[in-house]
Amino acid sequence: MTKAAQKICVAKIGAAHGVRGEVRLWPFTEDPMSVIDYGPLSTRDGARRFEVVRARIAKDHLVAVIKGVTNRDEAERLNGIELYVARDALPATDEGEYYHADLIGLAAIDPQGASIGNVTAIHNFGAGDIIEIAPKSGPSLLLPFTDAVVPTVDLAAGHVVVELPNEIDGENGPQ
């Protein structure tokens, strides 16, 4: 699938909020309210479409009205649905900014060009982004996604350069 045809998850519907059909909405965008600007959102397979009519910020999520959802029972049935938008509908990134989907699948190499593995995910547990790399064998590496550890991201070449911190090398070095 080309990057332009790729779908990006921009939000996930959570539990119902109140009795009038509002839902908790967990946006995965830099600006939480931008999920409204993308127009209709869909499930990954495109089988269902949803339009966020309006939303308001509530702590670490949004409380949103989804077009056609008018009561709590309807809202509860949407719990857990991930909402996607076409990759080409997203704005261009600034220098040094990347969409997670653009990083997943890239080769991870050391500064000398030796393979470390492949990027399988980007996580954020509250203290900053973590890059997950699956080596050819052994457990996944979870590393800080910082300039010190990942000094180079080359989307055109299809790789990231990773400076492995000494703490994870162990006695025999990385496997």
The rounded Cα 101 to chain-centroid distance in angstroms is 6
Q: How far apart are CA 39 and CA 42, in angstroms?
A: 10
Task: Give the tens place of pLDDT for each residue, 89-130.
Answer: 888 888 888 888 889 999 999 999 999 999 999 988 878 899
- Find the angle CA(54)-CA(57)-CA(58) to the nearest 5 degrees: 125
Residue 169 has pLDDT above 80, yes or no: no
Per-residue pLDDT at 5: 60
* Structure-block tokens of residue 130: 């973590």
Task: Report the SS3 class of residue 87.
Answer: helix
Residue 12 has pLDDT above 90, yes or no: yes
Task: Give the tens place of pLDDT for each residue, 18-44.
Answer: 999 999 999 988 889 999 998 899 999
* Structure-block tokens of residue 58: 């509530």
* Structure-block tokens of residue 82: 């991930």
Whole-model pTM? 0.72
CB 109 within 8 A of CB 115: yes
| Average pLDDT of the segment spanning 150-172 | 83
